[in-house]
């Protein structure tokens, strides 16, 4: 399942998006309790991989609320969180933290050439 969280950490909306990602349909319930029940029905006892993409939430209590909803999955279920700050990663109680580094100037230019020019080669300029 893949859910883009972004800067608004609304527990009900995130739960709805997880259900939709798992089932391909929007949850039927409009109330949080109903959405929680649907989420637990979908992941309960099942092994899952959930990607929470672009998480900005810095409130540990909100994260704990979401984490508690996701604990009904089978052992071995994984949650991968992408974010932009180490602080967000630490409040989730992560087991592993991977910090990605940007490309060097040389790597950036090489990638640009591969994408922008035919066969990845710079055009020859004839003056």
- Structure confidence by residue, pLDDT tens digits, 81-112: 999 888 888 888 888 888 888 899 999 998 99
Instruction: Give the whole-number percent of the chain exceeding pLDDT 90.
Output: 59
The domain in which residue 89 lies consists of 2-100
Residue 125 lies in a domain: no
Beta bridge partners of 83: 55
Residues 121 and 127: their CA atoms lie apart, in Å, by 18
Q: Which residues contact 107 (CB under 8 A, 6 or more apart)?
A: none
Residue 79 lies in a domain: yes
Residue 123 lies in a domain: no
Residue 94 lies in a domain: yes
The total of structural domains in the chain comes to 1
Residue 2 pLDDT more than 70? yes
Pairing of strands 2-6, 49-55: parallel
Residue 28 lies in a domain: yes
Residue 113 lies in a domain: no
Residue 95 lies in a domain: yes
The structure's pTM equals 0.77
Residue 110 lies in a domain: no
Q: Which residues contact 13 (CB under 8 A, 6 or more apart)?
A: none
What are the tokens at 64? 């704990």
Q: What pLDDT band is residue 127 in, cutting at 50, 70 and 90?
A: low
What are the tokens at 16? 């709805």
Radius of gyration in angstroms for the set of CA atoms belonging to the chain, rounded to a whole number = 20
């Amino acid at each position: 399942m893949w859910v883009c969280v972004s800067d608004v950490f609304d527990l009900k909306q995130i739960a709805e998006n997880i259900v939709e990602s798992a089932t391909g349909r929007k949850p039927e319930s409009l109330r949080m309790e109903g959405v929680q029940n649907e989420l637990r029905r979908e992941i309960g006892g099942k092994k899952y991989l959930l990607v929470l993409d672009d998480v900005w939430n810095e409130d540990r209590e909100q994260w704990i609320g979401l984490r508690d909803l996701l604990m009904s999955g089978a052992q071995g279920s994984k949650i991968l969180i992408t974010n932009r700050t180490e602080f967000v990663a630490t409040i989730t109680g992560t087991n592993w933290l991977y910090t990605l580094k940007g490309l060097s100037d040389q790597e950036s230019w090489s990638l640009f050439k591969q994408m922008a020019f035919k066969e990845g080669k710079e055009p020859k300029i004839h003056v």
